């Protein structure tokens, strides 16, 4: 390797280690190497599973634009056609009872948040999350914000509307997973001070999947599409 290329590669490694730390940095570099060497056929993924308390009251309200709408979206609503997700994925979510809150400005999508009661089948790896007690805890997933609205107040208002819904339904905690290799998402979650409940590392190669988990079943090997670990995620006691 030419010296210039070696220095460039070393700088990339150094920057990645600085970004993700010595715990996740080497794993991130390994994940990149695996994906590149197999042309995407093999993937290494690490998740943090964390709980965030549903606020007992809303934060001080921000001034809301009369052009902003925040509401629960349903299958067939015009805004759903703007979701940057495959139509079959959106249809499946509604079919299994997931609920979505969306915000738009003059009909243009600002963002959305999805929630699922009881259990949730992961859509990036093969894993099923079961939530207990189901009256207290709900799964939060696929939080999306359109790039041009990332500095707007509408997304904060969307969160407030979602929290108001969770309070009405009696939920005390929302739980979600965050990729250990997504620095932006990790930074956002740190500001919310969530409570980490578990971690999971998944090695996926076609139908083969190895899961290393910090909670039962701890280790799971799947050789078929239907083979997946079932994680029991309990609401924090406090």
The more confidently predicted of residues 6 and 225 is: 225
Q: pLDDT tens digits, residue range 95-151?
A: 999 999 999 999 999 999 999 999 999 989 999 999 999 999 999 999 998 988 877
- Using left for φ > 0, alpha for ψ between -120 and 50, and beta otherwise, residue 134 falls in alpha
Domains of the chain as residue ranges with CATH: 16-234 (3.40.630.30)
Q: What is the pLDDT of residue 67?
A: 83
Q: What is the pLDDT of residue 191?
A: 59
Q: pLDDT tens digits, residue range 19-72?
A: 667 788 889 899 999 999 999 999 999 999 999 999 888 766 555 566 889 999
Least confident of 12-16, 180-184, 202-206: 12-16
- Range 174-193 average pLDDT: 75
Least confident of 58-72, 76-90, 188-202: 58-72
């Amino acid at each position: 390797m030419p010296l210039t290329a070696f220095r460039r590669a070393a700088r990339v490694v150094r920057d990645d280690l600085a970004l993700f730390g010595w715990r996740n940095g080497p794993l991130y570099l390994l994940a990149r190497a695996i994906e590149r060497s197999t042309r995407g056929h093999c993937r290494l993924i690490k998740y943090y599973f964390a709980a965030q308390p549903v606020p007992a009251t809303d934060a001080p309200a921000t001034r809301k634009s009369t052009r902003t709408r925040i509401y629960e979206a349903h299958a067939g609503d015009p805004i759903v056609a703007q979701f940057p997700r495959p139509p079959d994925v959106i249809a499946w979510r509604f079919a299994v009872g997931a609920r979505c809150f969306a915000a738009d400005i003059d009909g243009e999508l600002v963002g959305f948040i999805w929630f699922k009661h009881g259990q949730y089948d992961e859509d990036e790896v093969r894993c099923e999350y079961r939530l207990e007690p189901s009256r207290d805890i709900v799964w939060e997933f696929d939080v999306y914000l359109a790039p041009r609205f990332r500095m707007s107040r509408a997304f904060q208002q969307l969160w407030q509307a979602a929290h108001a819904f969770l309070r009405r339904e009696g939920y005390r905690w929302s739980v979600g997973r965050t990729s250990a290799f997504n620095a932006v998402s990790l930074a956002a979650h740190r500001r919310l001070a969530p409570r980490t409940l578990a971690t999971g590392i998944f090695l996926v190669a076609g139908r083969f999947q190895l899961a290393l988990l910090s909670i039962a079943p701890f280790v799971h090997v799947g050789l078929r599409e239907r083979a997946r670990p079932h994680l029991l995620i309990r609401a924090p006691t406090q």
